[in-house]
Structure 1
Amino acid sequence: MMWIVFVGLLVGLAATVFVVPALRDWFKKKKIEQLVMRSGENEPDHAAKAGTPTMGGAGFIAVVIIGYAILGFFMKAYDVTALVVLLAIFLYAVVGGFDDSIKIFNHRDEGFRFLPKLSVEILAAILGVVLLHMSGFEFSLAMPFGLPTLHNAFFYTIFVIIWLVGWSNATNLTDGLDGLATGLAIIAYGSYLIIAMQQANSGVMLLDALMIGALVGFFVFNHYPASIFMGDTGSLALGAGLAMNAIVLHKEWSILLIGVVFMIDTLSVIIQITSFRLTGKRIFLITPIHHSVEKGGLTGNVEKPWNEWQVDALFWSVGLLGSVLYFILF
């Protein structure tokens, strides 16, 4: 089965390296560019990023979808579990695309309003659940700490919705520095590729290999200083794909370690908002926490800010450590 992985990685990488620069130049011509509309005194100065083409996620997502459609046929690697993951990636890419479009063309710092966006994300998750049900997927959830496995379709449906909506937005929050989310996604999808190999799931193996190759290709243009950003189109899709990987491989809780940085960033936002509303005080310089580290390092000293490579390296290391711990412990 290693040849499936090798071909997926190679095709994903080669196609993305070809597609993304062409897409970047076209986006720049059409003024599909990053807006930097707010910069408070406690926030890192990202004004230089304004005008950088965004929505680059459309490029690597297209490579993965088309690549799987073609390679899956010739390599006989079509699998319903992989198709469910692919559906989640596609649907959340569409949601992210609308979100990006509203920001860009309406010149708004925020895209979808909260409730409409949440509603569409929930609907996308429900479509995924429907496909899972139609495939005969077992709706059971192995509980941690020795608790009995839950066999309840309604509970599992709610769980899937929370997982998809939650992790897609957590990944979106982490996409705030050049290359940060891309590097973390490579690590996370690599972890699920290993799990798929352990389960001999050729469909998910091919899909994850394509995604890793595509992300490595995208990283060539997305590392600091980035010449293109993935936008919500890419980040929402990546998070949904990771969550659905965990679900279809029946390793639902694995993402708590494999996606630990996405969780840390999200928790930092929740803690910051809660503290400010209850006490009027902020715990961190700025959230998500990767921006706090960028602004003042690990000590919070704003006189000694970190550059983006330093921040990326720290959080990539944490993400890699989380994945390694998962395989050691489980």
Structure 2
Amino acid sequence: MLVLEFLLGMVLTAVIMPTVIKKLKQSKEQAVIRVLGPDHQQKAGTPSLGGAVFGLVTLIIVFCLPSTYHDSRSLTTILALSVGFASYGLIGAVDDVLKLVNHADDGFAFKPKLLAQTVSAFLVMLLLWAMHVPAGLNLPFVGVVYLGVFYLVFLWFWLVGWSNATNLTDGLDGLLTGLALIAYGAYTLMAVRAENWAMVSFNIVLMGSLVGFLLFNKPKAKIFMGDTGSLAIGAGLAVESIQLHAVISLLIIGLVFVIETLSVIIQTISYHFFKVRVFPMAPIHHSFEKFGWSEWQIDTAFWLFGLGCALIGLWLF
């Protein structure tokens, strides 16, 4: 059954994608490439919004599966995951559409985007509360540390933070798609161990859809996932780490995302206060481009590092 779910997600995405690419190219509403940093102007004209395809394919298949409605735990698990994944994907879609319509590399303004992410986080919190998820963090060698009302603040930070971390990582063809496959693969194994079969099904379908998308997103990409896909991927991982009572595991399994985000924070602070660039360019994957690495070389190195982190995370948790 799991093999069928994977193939269904992969085949549907792969079949639909060429039509979407064709329609987006005909519409002339295509991605605007940033002028700053490595020369990516050869990518100008590449359609975006690919994340909408694999996201919708995943959600439609998951809600058509009998296992989704097997019991109340399965349904609530899928609802919390889907609301997190879909709501942040919708925020990304608005951002992508605004960029395309305005022919600019900035879409959603910071404050309304943060407000939308906060509202989405609140909806996920309600569903997690309905699932009776303990208001605490399960820390290695320590046990569960209960945070009380501050757990709500943590959940907000976790969802908003991880959705933006994966968004920052989506800067090269295929990079985030491959890393997402690795991270969701790790959480699939953790979900099997926890006997959370609803989460297993969700991840298997999503991974199949991501493989179908990667066929068109590998260097040189025929379509980008856009914020629609990158925000959804991060939010989904954040929700799963919470549902599995292993939030700290994401810091290891998703260490590449952490490093990418830290590189931006460090670069911003160092340049703002000291006019010094710590990295040739941030996020850090662009620094490797400055060193002369090809996109395939960077993808391969980051995927292997991400795989190593995922294996360590699985061993620890």
SS of 1:79's equivalent in the other structure is helix
What residue number does 1:239 align with? 234
Give the deviation of 1:121 after TM superposition.
Answer: 0.5
Contact 1:79 1:202 in 2 (8 A): no
* 1:120-159 alignment runs, 5 A limit: 120-144=116-140, 146-147=141-142, 149-159=144-154
Partner Cα distance (1:185, 1:45) in 2: 25
* 1:12-51 alignment runs, 5 A limit: 12-39=9-36, 43-51=37-45
1:221-277 Cα deviation digits (max 9, x unpaired):
000000000000000000100111101111111111111111110000011111112
* 1:39-188 alignment runs, 5 A limit: 39=36, 43-72=37-66, 76=70, 78-144=74-140, 146-147=141-142, 149-188=144-183
What residue number does 1:310 align with? 297
Q: 1:72 to 1:162 in 2, by over 3 A?
A: farther
Contact 1:52 1:228 in 2 (8 A): yes
Q: 1:317 to 1:101 in 2, by over 3 A?
A: same
Percent identity for Structure 1 against Structure 2: 43
Amino acid at match of 2:207: I
Range moving further from structure 2, 180-189 or 107-116: 107-116
SS of 1:226's equivalent in the other structure is coil
Partner Cα distance (1:292, 1:318) in 2: 16
Give the deviation of 1:74 after TM superposition.
Answer: 7.8
Partner Cα distance (1:188, 1:170) in 2: 13
Contact 2:190 2:314 in 1 (8 A): no
1:328 equivalent to 2:315? Answer: yes
Contact 1:72 1:203 in 2 (8 A): no
1:92-115 Cα deviation digits (max 9, x unpaired):
010000111111101222111112
Partner Cα distance (1:23, 1:293) in 2: 32
Q: 1:72 to 1:165 in 2, by over 3 A?
A: farther
1:270-317 Cα deviation digits (max 9, x unpaired):
111111122111011000000001111xxxxxxxx1110001011111
Range moving further from structure 2, 89-98 or 16-25: 16-25
Q: What's the RMSD between the two structures over aligned residues?
A: 1.5
Structure 2 spans left out of the alignment, 5+ residues: none
Query: Between Structure 1 and Structure 2, how many residues are aligned?
Result: 315
Give the deviation of 1:328 after TM superposition.
Answer: 2.4
Amino acid at match of 1:309: W
Range moving further from structure 2, 47-56 or 105-114: 105-114
SS of 2:65's equivalent in the other structure is helix
1:100-155 Cα deviation digits (max 9, x unpaired):
111110122211111211111011001100111123332221134x4452234422
What residue number does 1:272 align with? 267
TM-score by length of 2: 0.96
Partner Cα distance (1:48, 1:222) in 2: 15
TM-score by length of 1: 0.92
Amino acid at match of 1:91: S
Partner Cα distance (2:22, 2:118) in 1: 34
Give the deviation of 1:329 after TM superposition.
Answer: 2.9
Partner Cα distance (1:178, 1:74) in 2: 33
SS of 1:142's equivalent in the other structure is strand
Contact 1:9 1:210 in 2 (8 A): yes
